[in-house]
Structure 1
């Protein structure tokens, strides 16, 4: 991805976030807080994720 494409993508994301209503932002934030965390990643870091990717790649 070139620099111009990255800047274009980031401006699109920022404007989309700014254009969303405040109620939807609050709802999304509260939903994010209620989602259970993935404990394997939280406790052990990136190693379980890397192991999962390795297993998926070999299948």
Structure 2
């Protein structure tokens, strides 16, 4: 992605967020808090660290 495309994408995302009503933002936040986390994303940070320790010990 070139620099101009990235800036365009970020601008679109920012304006879409700003244009959403406050009630919808609040609903989204409460919904995200109540949903359980996905374990693949939760453990993604731990797995590379575990592999690093495993290879370091051997």
Offset of residue 42 of structure 1 = 2.7
**SS of equivalent to 2:23:** helix
Give the 3 Å change call, closer, same or farther, for CA 12–44 of structure 1 in structure 2: closer
Structure 1 portions without partners, runs of 5+: 49-59
Shift of 1:37: 1.3
> Higher relative contact order at CA 8 Å, sep ≥6: structure 1 or structure 2?
1
Q: Would you say how many aligned residue pairs link Structure 1 and Structure 2?
A: 48
The RMSD of aligned alpha carbons is 2.2
Tell me which stretches of 4 or more aligned residues in structure 1 moved more than 4 Å.
none
Distance 1:7 1:46, change over 3 A: farther
- Structure 1 length as normaliser, TM-score? 0.67
* TM-score between both structures, scaled by the size of structure 2: 0.68
Q: Give 5+ residue unaligned stretches, structure 2.
A: 49-58
